[in-house]
Structure 1
Amino acid sequence: MRVTVFGATGGIGRLVVQQLLDQGHHVTALTRTAGKLNLTHPHLDLITGQLSDRTAVQQAVAGADAVISALGPSLRRSTTGTQLTDGTRTIVEAMDQAKVTRFIGLATPSLADPRDKPHWKHKVLPVMAKLAFPNALAELTGMTRAVTGSDLDYTIARITNPTDKPATGRIRSGFLGHDQVGSAMSRADIAAFLVSQLTDTRYQRAMPAISN
């Protein structure tokens, strides 16, 4: 399968790229700086460009069977702007033009899925995030709406507490107030879940919460 990865140089994105290559997929990754991914592979194509560069984004998406976005906002309070929201809109537009329909990405349980039942995370997490990381929450909200408001066949995995612990292979997924999903999850297992959604149809046009 040909998969385009955005956010490929981040903690989760690097693992997504490596797992895709290990499974025999062909990967195209958009990176802001040439060489930052520091990975070479015969099935890896790197395109240098910003999310704001529509031509680069279109080039990255062209010919893909699916797109995996490991993009996430900065947690620095000094960060401002809507670069990721705008960039996600550009990705959605490029996918529409290229007739690529499968999108797999990340968000937070601060944002609800219609399948959720009432849960403490719906009350606590948005308040905490708005106080501690207001721009990050705004970006995640904008990114998510750009995708869910489109016609894409999306799966957006909601994560709470990513860690650098080794992969466990134990992944819980589901909807708040309905399924037993915790908070902490290793980045390696998050990456594994994202890659698994290339062939898993349970969460089409849904935002499952995931944990270890």
Structure 2
Amino acid sequence: MKLLVIGGTGKTGREIIKQGLSQGHVITAVVRNPSKVKYSHTNLKVLKGNVLIPKSYETSFQGQDAVLSALGHKKFIIKTTILSRGTKNIITAMERNNVKRLICITSLGVNDSKFKLGLYYTLFTIPFILFFYFLDKSKQEKLIMNSELEWTIVRPGQLTNGKKRTIYKHGKNVGHYLLTKMISRADVAHFMLNLLKQNTYLKKTVGLTY
């Protein structure tokens, strides 16, 4: 398949690119700083673009089969709207170029998965450290849900840099009210790429943890 990856310089985005190439996909990565993409492959094209500036990347959507978004934000930004504004632009570009399939990462603890990232996140981290970030994730999800795209929103638990296991839990009720469940970025990428092969979670949200 021809895949457009957003957020390809982040740790999860790099895993999506690496695993996607190993599976034979043709990947276009839209990134702000192409020099941060360390892979060189005949099936990989790296384009410079900023999701907040649609003109910088919109033509890259032409002819794509699906978009995989691992869009994040800069560290230590307290109040951010990058996710919602960027996703709104992505949706518009997909609609204009007739690209239907969108698989996007957000997080457990957002919208109707509130409290499922464990007590530590629910009572401390989200309200006192990541409040605006999770608020932006909430807006991001609602934009996707209200679109006409064939979307899936993947809500992982706490992300780690662990190895790919390919064995994990996924579904509507994944997560825990007391404990913080984890998942490696490698397995998040594995799950997202597998979603391209089936429609189980089409127009649905899905939690993902060990």
Q: What TM-score do the two structures reach when normalised by structure 2? A: 0.89
Change (3 A) 1:178 1:184: closer
User: How far 1:111 moved relative to its partner?
Assistant: 2.1
| Equivalent of 1:167 in 160, 164, 167 | 164
| Separation in structure 2 between the aligned mates of residue 177 and residue 154 of structure 1, nearest angstrom | 19
User: How far 1:43 moved relative to its partner?
Assistant: 0.7
Determine if the alignment matches structure 1 residue 206 to structure 2 residue 204.
Answer: yes
| Separation in structure 2 between the aligned mates of residue 172 and residue 6 of structure 1, nearest angstrom | 25
- Residue in structure 1 matched with residue 131 of structure 2 by the alignment: 134
Change (3 A) 1:53 1:173: same
Q: What TM-score do the two structures reach when normalised by structure 1? A: 0.88
How many aligned positions are there? 206
User: Secondary structure of the residue that 2:103 maps to in structure 1?
Assistant: strand
User: How far 1:171 moved relative to its partner?
Assistant: 1.8
User: Secondary structure of the residue that 2:38 maps to in structure 1?
Assistant: coil
Which structure 1 residue ranges, 4+ long, deviate > 3 Å from structure 2? 122-128
- Residue in structure 1 matched with residue 184 of structure 2 by the alignment: 186
Deviation by residue 1:181-210 (Cα, 9 ceiling, x = unmatched): x72111111110011111121000011101
| Separation in structure 2 between the aligned mates of residue 163 and residue 73 of structure 1, nearest angstrom | 17
- Residue in structure 1 matched with residue 152 of structure 2 by the alignment: 155
| Separation in structure 1 between the aligned mates of residue 9 and residue 111 of structure 2, nearest angstrom | 28
- Residue in structure 2 matched with residue 46 of structure 1 by the alignment: 46
Partners of 1:155 and 1:205 within 8 A in 2: yes
Deviation by residue 1:11-41 (Cα, 9 ceiling, x = unmatched): 1000000111101110001010122112111
| Separation in structure 1 between the aligned mates of residue 19 and residue 56 of structure 2, nearest angstrom | 24
Partners of 2:118 and 2:181 within 8 A in 1: no
User: How far 1:73 moved relative to its partner?
Assistant: 3.5
| Separation in structure 1 between the aligned mates of residue 8 and residue 122 of structure 2, nearest angstrom | 27
Q: What's the RMSD between the two structures over aligned residues?
A: 2.3
Structure 1: which 5+ residue stretches go unaligned?
none
User: Secondary structure of the residue that 1:165 maps to in structure 2?
Assistant: coil
Partners of 2:30 and 2:57 within 8 A in 1: yes
